[in-house]
Amino acid sequence: MPTSFVPRPASLASRGARSDIASVFGFFAYIVFVVVFALAIGVFFYGRILAQNQSAKDAALAKVESNINPATVNSFVQLRNRLVSSKTLLANHVAFSKFFALLETVMPSTVRFSSLHLSVNTDGTISVNGAGVAKSFNALAAASTAFANDGRIKNAIFSNISVDSKDGSVSFALSATLDPQTVAFSP
């Protein structure tokens, strides 16, 4: 019968497995810590580099700003203001050359105007009033149809129609409005 008793550990195998899992987790934690620490140092130094770069660019900008001539800046501002005013003037400029070119293409050659009055009304509409002579009533009807088909000369009303008994010519008066694009300036 033994006089002493030494207890054996419960399980050497289970204790080894626990220590392996803990050591793998600890090793992974150290690796993550080292990577995060390296990234933190990298961000710190990158921030320093960016701050130096910004201060260098601020100094260069201050140097360039000190070299700017105020007279040159004022001349550029005046030039810009002139260009803006010229655009406004050209946008509101009335040029009747498009209208006359339209009349040349639309009107039959046997119809002519003896007087023509163009006016811009206060509401922005353009009115045409005129008097003329057509070789025949059919020529006047062709002119009326041409105005209706084109659409740029609107509300054309032929009035005071009278036929000359000698040569069969027809005198008339015209009242119409124009499409604003017909008299708008374009380069």
Q: What angle do CA 37, 40, 46 make, to 5 degrees?
A: 145
Structure tokens at 22: 């803990």
Question: Above 70 in pLDDT, residue 18?
Answer: no
Give the integer Cα–Cα distance in Å for 147 and 175.
12
* Radius of gyration of the chain, Cα coordinates, nearest whole angstrom: 47
Other CB atoms within 10 Å distance of the CB of residue 170: 20
Q: What is the pTM of this model?
A: 0.50
- Segment 20-38 shows an average pLDDT of 88
What's the pLDDT tens digit per position in 135-149?
888 888 888 888 888
Task: Tell me if 58 is assigned to some domain.
Answer: no
| Mean pLDDT for all residues in the chain | 84
Task: Tell me if 147 is assigned to some domain.
Answer: yes
The number of folded domains in the chain is: 1
Task: Tell me if 174 is assigned to some domain.
Answer: yes
Show Cβ contacts of residue 160 under 8 Å, excluding neighbours closer than 6 positions.
131, 171, 172, 173
- In sequence order, the β-bridge partners of residue 127 are 119, 177
Read off the DSSP letter of residue 127.
E
- Segment 55-78 shows an average pLDDT of 91
CB 174 within 8 A of CB 131: yes
Task: Tell me if 10 is assigned to some domain.
Answer: no
Q: In what order do the strands lie in the sheet with 170-178?
A: 111-120, 126-134, 170-178, 153-163
* Closest by CA position to 128, among listed 157, 92, 98, 88: 157
In the structure, what pLDDT confidence band is assigned to residue 77 with cuts at 50, 70 and 90? Answer: very high
Residue 126 one-letter amino acid: I
- Segment 153-165 shows an average pLDDT of 86
Task: Tell me if 172 is assigned to some domain.
Answer: yes
Residue 147 one-letter amino acid: F
Domain of residue 130, CATH code? 3.30.70.2830
Task: Tell me if 113 is assigned to some domain.
Answer: yes
H or E segment and range at residue 67: none
- Segment 95-118 shows an average pLDDT of 86
Q: What's the distance, Cα to Cα, between the start and end of the chain in Å?
A: 125
* Closest by CA position to 135, among listed 107, 115, 112, 114: 112
Give the integer Cα–Cα distance in Å for 70 and 38.
50
Task: Tell me if 92 is assigned to some domain.
Answer: no
What pLDDT is stored for residue 167 in this prediction? 84
Task: Tell me if 56 is assigned to some domain.
Answer: no
Task: Give the domain range for residue 161.
Answer: 97-182
Structure tokens at 70: 């105020």
